[in-house]
Amino acid sequence: MTDSTNYYDTHLSAEKLKRCYEIAPSRVRQYLDAEVNHVLKYIKSGDNVVELGCGYGRIIPLLAKKSIRIFGIDTSQSSLLLARENLKDISNCYLSRMNAVQLTFTDKFFNSVVCIQNGISAFHVDQQKLIHESVRVTKRGGVILFSTYSEKFWKHRLQWFQLQSEAGLLGEIDYDKTGNGTIICKDGFTATTVSAEQFKRLASHVKQIRVTIEEVDESSLFCIIERQ
């Protein structure tokens, strides 16, 4: 059985991770587009941006067009190697192997911190530490963008994960244990979500921030944290 805490390092990385997005149904593709388009609204030219959990670099080209510099971090070496190949012609892109709760960047370095595609759950790290660390590296006036899945998107999300399971990218889904926003596979993979109230509680211990919760496309739930 695979340990879900490092599933994206050891089992679902690089070409396998890319394949997950290639087989996404049309409604999931709509969700993915709406999610990244919402992020782009918050990024200004001249911004230093970091994406936590950049994987193989799926959205970095879009972020690179809107920012002066885009940094992508991930814990999977194989995903980063594929990202370096995919992004070799993007001159303002910098990739590093790094844990999102132990960032090596200095305080107040970024204008924007991006953690979408349910990274707050998928990373399987201390979520409060993840928020604290993201705020630490964000400049005053900067923004941190976390996203998870909306409850309204459940049937589409489950269908997508079933397709991934059928393609051999995930283990068999355990439908006896799957439900209420959580997907559990028989190989140990677990995918949860964060509610609006959970986002607020996680951020409540951080000073000098403003938190806004936004639903996008009836598919994403965003937690927008502005550092004041």
Region 95-121: what's the mean pLDDT?
A: 98
6-10, 42-46, 171-175, 204-208, range with the lowest pLDDT: 6-10
CATH code of the domain covering residue 124: 3.40.50.150
CA-CA distance, 181 to 196, in Å (whole number)?
A: 13
When pLDDT is averaged across residues 91-108 and rounded to a whole number, the result is: 98
Token couple for 134: 């993201």
Determine the average pLDDT of the residues in 203-215.
96
pLDDT at 15: 98
pLDDT value at residue 10: 86
pLDDT of residue 47: 98
Q: What's the domain count of the chain?
A: 1
Predicted confidence at residue 99, as pLDDT, reads: 97
Predicted pLDDT at 2: 53
pLDDT range class, residue 3, cuts 50, 70, 90: low
Q: What is the DSSP string of 68-107?
A: SEEEEEES-HHHHHHHHHHTTT-TTEEEEE--TTS--SPT
Q: State the Cα–Cα distance between residues 21 and 168, nearest whole angstrom.
A: 14
The predicted model gives 161-170 an average pLDDT of 98
In the prediction, which pLDDT does 6 show?
A: 82
Task: List the domain range (segments joined by +) for residue 168.
Answer: 4-227
CB 95 within 8 A of CB 72: yes
**Mean pLDDT value of segment 59-73:** 98
User: Is residue 169 predicted with pLDDT exceeding 90?
Assistant: yes
Residue 100 has pLDDT above 90, yes or no: yes
Helix-strand-coil split of the chain, %, nearest 5: 40, 25, 35
pLDDT per position as a tens digit, 4-36: 568 999 899 999 999 999 999 999 999 999 999
Mean pLDDT over all residues of the chain? 96
Structure tokens at 211: 């938190």
Query: What per-residue confidence (pLDDT) applies to 4?
Result: 58
